[in-house]
């Protein structure tokens, strides 16, 4: 998406939808961000009925647009609802199908995958849903390639998130895909949320009551983020934390759902993307300062993460991002 375009995001709410995912969408796509000097999205909320009862009767939604708002959505966020066995209304499914047919991007949070599967749009395609509903989803939609133990799935024009909190992960992923790492990092700081958790991370991370007062990785992560250009290894991280590499690995899996090496690589790629956005054209310099080593490794990692070569990434995101940023940015430790 070009940085100057007005990309229209429409959130479609259905009877018994979950307010949390609605709030996530509003926070990421709907809030005004004057500090950026431009609006990221044109956001609108719509519903299938003039009065829509939200999950468990928490409140009733009124005063929003009708289904006609879906007709010019560039991105349509489809309804989710905890009563997954209840069929979606035919007119809601028809609106979702029409949006997909004319080329809109579809996003499903939590049980939103059920909506798209009922509409017949996920056959033969990859999707994520909450682990609690994985067996039910498979039995009802056997032709969908369900990935039950990931945070979210990006399958091009259809994206699905597994659970409530992963709606934030997927939303930030969409911002990063549309506007680059710099803007996504800014939005995540406003949320006080991790800027990047890869979609392949585990949905459910066991967190037993610790036997020691504090084994938080936050101080270690903050220390490492300041030294990404140095030849840091997993052994270095373990030494800094004063634990064995095996213990460090267990803590990363328990607290972040990933490995120390995968986290370190992801941070380096994110730093490289920010450098490219800020105007550094020498790939060997970007590779060295981000800790990725060589320009060849940089190209491989950036393409794997973003789907773009470094030069294509620069053309897409490298012109006005930092010029638009007027706020002072300081690093903060990720959870």
Tens-place pLDDT, residues 252-303: 887 777 889 988 998 899 899 989 988 888 999 999 999 999 999 999 999 8
Task: Name the phi and psi angles at 69, rounded to 5.
Answer: -65, -25
pLDDT surpassing 50 at residue 113: yes
Question: Looking at the domain assignment, is residue 214 inside a domain?
Answer: yes
Q: How many distinct structural domains can be found in the chain? A: 2
The alpha-carbon radius of gyration of the chain (Å, integer) is: 21
Same structural domain, 232 and 144: no
Helix or strand (DSSP H, E) at 53: strand 51-53
Question: Looking at the domain assignment, is residue 64 inside a domain?
Answer: yes
pLDDT tens sequence across 51-97: 989 888 788 999 999 999 999 999 999 988 888 888 899 999 999 99
Using the Cα atoms of residue 17, residue 5, residue 187 and residue 195 in order, give the sign of their dihedral.
Answer: positive
Same structural domain, 216 and 179: no
Same structural domain, 185 and 248: no
| Chosen domain end from 191, 218, 237 | 191
Q: pLDDT value at position 192?
A: 63
Same structural domain, 229 and 272: yes
Using the Cα atoms of residue 306, residue 310, residue 312 and residue 318 in order, give the sign of their dihedral.
Answer: positive
Q: How far apart (Å, rounded) are the C-alpha atoms in residues 330 and 176?
A: 19
Question: Looking at the domain assignment, is residue 205 inside a domain?
Answer: no
Same structural domain, 124 and 244: no
Q: How far apart (Å, rounded) are the C-alpha atoms in residues 73 and 11?
A: 9
156 CB burial (10 A radius; 0-12, 13-18, 19+): exposed
User: What percent of the chain stands above pLDDT 90?
Assistant: 47
Question: Looking at the domain assignment, is residue 200 inside a domain?
Answer: no
Same structural domain, 173 and 77: yes
CA distances from 205 to 2, 56, 151, 253, 254 (A): 36, 27, 11, 8, 6
Pairing between β-strand 158-161 and β-strand 152-154 as defined by DSSP bridges: antiparallel
CA angle 213, 219, 223 (to 5 degrees): 155
- Report, as an integer, the average pLDDT of 19-34: 88
CB 257 within 8 A of CB 246: no
Task: Name the phi and psi angles at 287, rounded to 5.
Answer: -60, -40
Same structural domain, 184 and 219: no
| Chosen domain end from 157, 191, 225 | 191
Q: How far apart (Å, rounded) are the C-alpha atoms in residues 76 and 91?
A: 15
User: What's 31's domain CATH number?
Assistant: 3.40.50.880
Same structural domain, 47 and 187: yes
Question: Looking at the domain assignment, is residue 196 inside a domain?
Answer: no
User: What tokens does 59 get?
Assistant: 């409140």
Same structural domain, 169 and 281: no
Question: Looking at the domain assignment, is residue 266 inside a domain?
Answer: yes
DSSP character for 65?
B
- Report, as an integer, the average pLDDT of 305-333: 62
User: What tokens does 330 get?
Assistant: 């300081």
- Report, as an integer, the average pLDDT of 26-40: 85
Q: pLDDT value at position 103?
A: 96
**Nearest CA among 39, 101, 105 for reference residue 73:** 105
User: What's 290's domain CATH number?
Assistant: 1.10.10.60
pLDDT tens sequence across 320-332: 444 444 333 333 3
Domain region containing 55: 7-191
Question: Looking at the domain assignment, is residue 199 inside a domain?
Answer: no
Same structural domain, 123 and 12: yes
Same structural domain, 59 and 166: yes
Question: Looking at the domain assignment, is residue 16 inside a domain?
Answer: yes
Same structural domain, 178 and 33: yes
């Amino acid at each position: 998406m070009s940085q100057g375009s007005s990309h229209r995001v429409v959130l479609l709410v259905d009877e018994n939808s979950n307010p949390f995912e609605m709030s996530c969408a509003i926070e990421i796509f709907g809030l005004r961000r004057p500090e950026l000097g431009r609006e990221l999205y044109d956001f609108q909320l719509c519903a299938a009925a003039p009065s829509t009862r939200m999950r468990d009767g928490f409140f009733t939604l009124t005063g929003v647009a009708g289904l006609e708002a879906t007709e010019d959505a560039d991105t349509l966020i489809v309804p989710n609802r905890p009563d997954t066995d209840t069929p979606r209304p035919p007119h809601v499914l028809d609106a979702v199908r029409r949006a997909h047919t004319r080329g809109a991007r579809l996003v499903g949070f939590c049980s939103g995958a059920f909506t798209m599967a009922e509409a017949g749009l996920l056959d033969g395609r990859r999707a994520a849903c909450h682990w609690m509903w994985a067996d039910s989803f498979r039995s009802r939609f056997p032709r969908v390639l369900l990935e039950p133990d990931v945070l979210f799935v990006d399958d091009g024009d259809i994206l699905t998130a597994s659970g409530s909190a992963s709606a934030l992960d997927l939303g930030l992923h969409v911002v990063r895909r549309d506007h680059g790492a710099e803007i996504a990092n800014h939005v995540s700081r406003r949320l006080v949320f991790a800027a990047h958790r890869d979609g392949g991370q585990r949905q459910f991370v066991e967190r037993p009551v610790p036997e020691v007062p504090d084994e938080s990785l936050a101080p270690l992560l903050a220390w490492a983020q300041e030294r990404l250009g140095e030849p840091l290894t997993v052994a270095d991280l373990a030494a800094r934390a004063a634990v064995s590499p095996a213990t460090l690995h267990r803590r990363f899996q328990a607290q972040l759902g990933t490995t120390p090496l995968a986290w370190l690589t992801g941070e380096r790629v994110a730093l490289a993307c920010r450098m490219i956005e800020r105007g550094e054209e020498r790939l060997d310099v970007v590779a060295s300062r981000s800790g990725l080593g060589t320009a060849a490794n940089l190209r491989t990692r950036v393409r794997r993460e973003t789907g773009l070569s470094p030069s294509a990434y620069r053309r897409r995101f490298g012109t006005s991002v930092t010029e638009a940023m007027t706020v002072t940015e300081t690093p903060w430790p990720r959870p």
